[in-house]
Chain A
Amino acid sequence: MEYVIEMNHITKEFGNFKALDDVTLCVKKGEVHALLGENGAGKSTLMSVLFGLYQAEQGEIKINGKPVKINNPNDANNLNIGMVHQHFKLVHNFTVLESIVLGRETVNGGFLKMDEARKKVVELSEHYKLKIDPDSYISDITVGMQQRVEILKMLYCDNEILIFDEPTAVLTPQEIDELMKIMKNLVDEGKSIIFISHKLNEIKAVANRCTVLRKGKYIGTIDVETATRETMSEMMVGRKVNFNLDKAEEKLGNVTLKVENLSVVSKISHKKVVDDVSFEVRRGEIVCIAGIDGNGQSELVYGITGLIPLQSGKIEINGKDITKDSIRKRSLAGMAHIPEDRHRHGLVLDYTVQQNVVLQTYFEPRFQRHGFIRFDAVREYAKKLIKQYDIRSGQDENSVTRGMSGGNQQKVIIARELDRDPDIVLAVQPTRGLDVGATEYIHKQLIKQRDNGKAVLLISLELDEVMEVSDRILVIYEGEIVADLDPKEVTVQELGLYMSGSKRKIAK
């Protein structure tokens, strides 16, 4: 069997930490080969080795059966290896055509000759069914089209091996379907694809084979068609993962959070980023605000929690108007906030775990006496939370949070926020960047909160999360709530239409 890429027994060390330990990856010509693993499993390190960004200590790389040495990304380009990055690297005020030819311009005596380039780009786009408009500006086109531009860029350079680094993170379900089709097309045309992902559904849908990494180690390569979701996740996490969240019947109580006609104006663009939003969250339900990133969900939460000023509107907690209250008062009124940016807002990174768990409660009599911190009480409290929420770190309550893993940092925040026994929890992308195990844990915690008769407002970009966890879905599009849906009755496809603004249920 001929392999287009063979990476044999690759070992990469950082200091005495083995990021990759004897990892082997073999990609056949004309296949979509998925690279599956949790965060920190070594997927990106492996790709960086292939791309020449890192040099492996041990192991060899063969392209088309010939051993090669890849010292830098230029070598990789010369070997026809191209990569679509998770965050696109495009120039916003260039046209699509200009972006594609950037770096490989056709010139005549120092002058650009765009006609030839245009011909080639149009040909490529027709051949591979990548719909683009060569004269639109990057800043004006959708994320899906930007991704197609990135793909065309690789094709324009005649790349044969295409690496997709978590390409679906920024797309709507429709765009994901589109991308899957494109990938299949590319493979049919003889290209080979490495598809990095931790989403099992997508791998199931598009990949032929799948290599699983865990903590820098090679776990195995499997045939996707015959493997089940359960086996793949077990290989990835190292234990069985329960995909079905046990949710009790919802028992709706009183309205906890009530938002009326809320509007927020952006400081930068002076546009309304949250436009006349009204909704309610009741005790015993998880309401999810679904939407594509950048449609005002962050600002909506900042407005509710008091981090940015409102232009207009009213916020009530348990019937009490808190619109003008300070952040401290809102928190005392029973509002907890698991912030989107855990480094910027969630933690004082240079504080220890015990200092961080009392960030909103340090002034309570149980933690202070006459203005002096009761260190024993704080330590005991931190120990209790560490045990209860299974927070792992080098020095337990004395660990500085900056040095902890993302999942454990998030657990510190969740422990702190949920242990305050809040009536309403605002959780913004609480599982972003976390592995399957931690995600499962956090979902369970949110559901426990709901089952205990508290309200949860979840803001998520992950459709799986939206569909599985929530009791009610509000779709936000360009700062407006465009639909109020029941996850049991709506399909992912339909949800995608609302999220992309092509459909709306709630009239303007």
Chain B
Amino acid sequence: MSRSRLRTRKVTNAVMLGLCGLSAALAVIALLAILSYTVGKGLPAIGLKFLTSLPQPVGDPGGGIGNAIVGTTVLVALACGIGIPAGLLAGIYVAEFAHPRVAVVVRFVADVLFGVPSIVTGVFVYGLVVVAMGGYSALAGGIALALIMVPIISRTAEESLKLVPNTLREAGLALGVPLWRIILSVVIPSALPGVLTGIMLGLARVAGETAPLIFTAFGSRLNYKGVDEPIAALPLQIYRYAISPYADWQRQAWGAALILIVMVLLASVAVRLLTRKRSSNLGR
């Protein structure tokens, strides 16, 4: 190879490596900036009372986000209870059983659903559930969040299942095992890390959704009263406090934001820890 061409290639290589490193650094810096800013502004607001008490009117001392923490937990649990089974079953169906043309349609629908702005989902659930039930409710909020979760879980589950080599399914079939059993006992466990990642992505996404909750869960300054009643939620609380003109509430908004990030982080870590033993050995 001529010397000048070799030099050009070396320079190009170095420049591209530098750009890659720079991009990675920028991404990490952005993440660290958000985290550190939130921690810096939110940590002063954290305290036991803050975490457990109900919101107080402005001016009154104390007040906290206890009901919002419970509310977010309830809403995310509802969303998972509806969204995870629906998303998983859809993903499994498309990956394993669907006729190719049906699969294309289902995949397309999932992608469209994924692209629907969450506020539109909220308005839709308002028309469907809130009006029918005669009022805002945690259930409506859970349904709206589930609708946002389903395409995320379905697509990642489908992609993870498709990554499992077909040789495993054939090995199971050759033993005289019915296909559904192979999928349940061999394919899904092998695809579990990817499936779990999809679930965690969905969970993190809906835990922070605000717009759909405005029309469905509505928010509340009271304790949890049941799934058929309006319910507080951390993102709603953050929104309402942050846009308020009161410094105290704005401080509490930062604290709530920090708590929300910590909750999602803890959930991710917990899921990974609990399922660590079942990681697959597809590497060989």
Q: Do A and B bind each other?
A: no
A-to-B contact residues, CB < 8 Å: none
